[in-house]
Amino acid sequence: MEAKHTPGPWTHRNGRIFATDRENLTIANVARAADGDYSPANGQLIAAAPELLDVTRLALEAMGQAFDEVFHEIPEGSVVPPWLVDLERATVAARAAIARATA
């Protein structure tokens, strides 16, 4: 799937998010909040977005494979282990996060 966003990695410095390989390309500016200066933490989080998206895609692929392999081994009518329910919830959440990030 081709990215619709500026490719990573991104960097945060002085309230500005920019493409690491093209410092003249500003992706976003992080404003200071009225109730405190959260911009450094917000900037780091925003700058990590491309990497977080890539890792979430990788994790989703691995979770899907694990779920498929294990789920089909459980005899019908058996109690599904709680960790498998958690894995399914995490898979659904990862798909939703990727959909929001790539819409």
Q: How many helices (H) and strands (E) does the chain have?
A: 3, 3
Q: Under a CB-based contact definition with an 8 Å cutoff, are residues 50 and 102 in contact?
A: no
Alpha carbon 29 to its chain's center: 20
Pairing of strands 22-29, 10-13: unpaired
| pLDDT for the residue numbered 32 | 78
Residue 69: pLDDT band by 50, 70, 90 thresholds?
A: confident
| pLDDT for the residue numbered 1 | 56
**Which whole number is the average pLDDT over 62-90?**
83
Nearest of 21, 12, 19, 20 to residue 42 by alpha carbon: 12
- Inform me whether the pLDDT recorded for 67 exceeds 80: no
Interatomic CA distance for residues 21 and 23, integer angstroms: 6
The pLDDT mean for the chain works out to 87
**Which whole number is the average pLDDT over 27-50?**
85
User: Among 5-14, 29-38, 39-48, which is the least confidently predicted range?
Assistant: 29-38
pTM over 0.95: no
